[in-house]
Amino acid sequence: MAVIDISFLGEDTLNAAKQLLGVEVITHIDGVETSGFITETEAYLGLNDRAAHTFGGKMTKKNEMMFNDFGHIYVYTMHGHHCMNILTKEREHPEGVLIRGIEPNHGIETMIDRRGREKGLTDGPGKLTKSLGIRRELHNGIELNNGILTLREGRTPREIEATKRIGIDNKAEATDYLYRFIVKGNPHVSRFRGKPLDNNGWK
DNA sequence: AATGGGATAAGCT
DNA sequence: GCTTATCCCATTA
């Protein structure tokens, strides 16, 4: 599969969050390739979104890498876990898409080693970064398609479902925004319940 | 299957 | 000192 044209990341963050579903994320770290198809994303709309780290345009040591053009990534840590965002738009609009779930494809044995378990490898933002080898101190601010982190054409969701963002519960009006997008019926997403759909919800 | 609490560490004020 | 865009295990059904 071909490396994708990432120019759509510069257009609109909500559309980017939806279009990223199904895209294959590949890392080449420690001499190993690991990859998976994106199943779950959340959009963070910067200046006007109370739930975003860049709400109001305030820059701190934590979020400074958000102030960059689309095609770079922002990695932050919380509770000892690393979470990865793909930046959208130009730096005057510090917006991005949090990758919350992927369906493992290549390098599953490496993911199991890195995670120290065989199940639940990539169904959460802190889990997938650990499986892929992404760490804030090494990868915060790097560009896509530079050899370490690559986006390739992947699969196509049959149906996209929109929900409230996970862990956002006291951010006034932003609490209820439907900015989380998942591949309907795919089990590799946060808090999955029920039975997977045919072909895990892919076309 | 659903819920609750503890672990955890960086960064903010 | 406090918060957090989390994870994992134990407990209850």
Residue A150 belongs to some domain of the structure: yes
Q: Are A116 and A110 in contact (CB under 8 A)?
A: no
Residue A46 in any domain: the answer is yes
Question: Smallest CA–C1' separation from A122: which nucleotide?
Answer: C7
pLDDT in tens, A90-148: 999 999 999 999 999 999 999 999 999 999 999 999 999 999 999 999 999 999 999 99
In a domain, A13, yes or no: yes
Please state the domain count of chain A.
Answer: 1
* Domain boundaries, position A147: 6-201
Are A38 and A105 spatial neighbours (Cβ–Cβ below 8 Å)?
Answer: no
Strand B nucleotides within a 7 Å radius of protein CB atoms: 1-2, 7-13
Residue A10 lies in a domain: yes
Considering only CA atoms, which residue is closest to the C1' of nucleotide B11?
Answer: A62
- Is A129 inside a domain boundary? yes
Q: Separation of CA A133 and C1' C12 in angstroms?
A: 36
The model's pTM? 0.97
Nucleotides of C under 7 A from a protein CB: 4-9
Task: Give percent of chain A above pLDDT 70.
Answer: 100
Q: What CATH number corresponds to the domain at position A113?
A: 3.10.300.10
Q: Is the CB of A80 under 7 A from strand B?
A: yes
Residue A57 lies inside a defined structural domain of this protein? yes
With b for 16 or more beta-carbon neighbours within 10 A and e for fewer, the A152-185 pattern comes to bebbebbebbeebbbebeebeebeebebbbbbeb
Q: Do the domain assignments include residue A1?
A: no
